[in-house]
Amino acid sequence: MLLFRKRPEMPAPSEVLPGRPNPLPTAERHFVNGNPLKGPYPEGVETIVLGLGCFWGAERKFWELPQGVHVTAVGYAGGTTPNPTYEEVCSGLTGHNEVVLVAYDPAVLPLEAVLKTFFESHNPTQGYRQGNDVGTQYRSGIYTGSEAQAATARAVRDSYAQALDARGYGPITTEIVPLETFYFAEEYHQQYLAKNPGGYCGLGGTGVSCTVGVGVAAE
């Protein structure tokens, strides 16, 4: 995805693009399961926002989970520019990350299981890149909606860090911060690989299992 645009550092405040006051148009419903992309979500469903590289392949990892995911959507978070476009995010001048919103039922799919998929689906030790995709928009990130989510994320991260260290990987660079705003990406990005099965996916994990949570089996 726009591999020719590479920025290895966050923008200075004077460089940040101004954005726009109104949200970008996006899809109304999930292309795969038909659920409303922006809700309202059923009672009991929670959301978390995750950055793990190119959001086309990242989103597919979660809608393909066998149960417990109500809807997924791709967008932008973690930066400053309001209502950014994809091109603006790829310029590196918004501070935003390419992210996936996962709306899940914790009674069916505990957060630990969502985070197991997150950590196993990418290399969380690479800083501002995933594989050949280089830039601040490809950083590993967990954007939480509550302190309870943040505590769970930190516990899973710390457990997985030990497993990675045992296999010779460096420290985890995943940022775990409160979500300020999730901006839905443009319609054509939503469920992109369902619409374009042969489309680009540069996502790759480490092959190290993340063993967490009651009933969450290691591979």
Closest CA relative to residue 73, chosen from 62, 87, 89, 83: 62
What pLDDT is recorded for position 219?
A: 35
- Quick: pLDDT tens for 40-63: 999 999 999 999 999 999 999 999
Separation between Cα atoms, residue 62 and residue 105, nearest integer Å: 13
Q: What is the mean pLDDT of the chain?
A: 94
| pTM given for the model | 0.94
- Domains of the chain (ranges, CATH numbers): 46-195 (3.30.1060.10)
User: Which residues are annotated as catalytic?
Assistant: 54
Band of residue 214 on the pLDDT scale cut at 50, 70, 90: very low
Peptide bond preceding 40 in cis form (omega within 30 of 0): yes
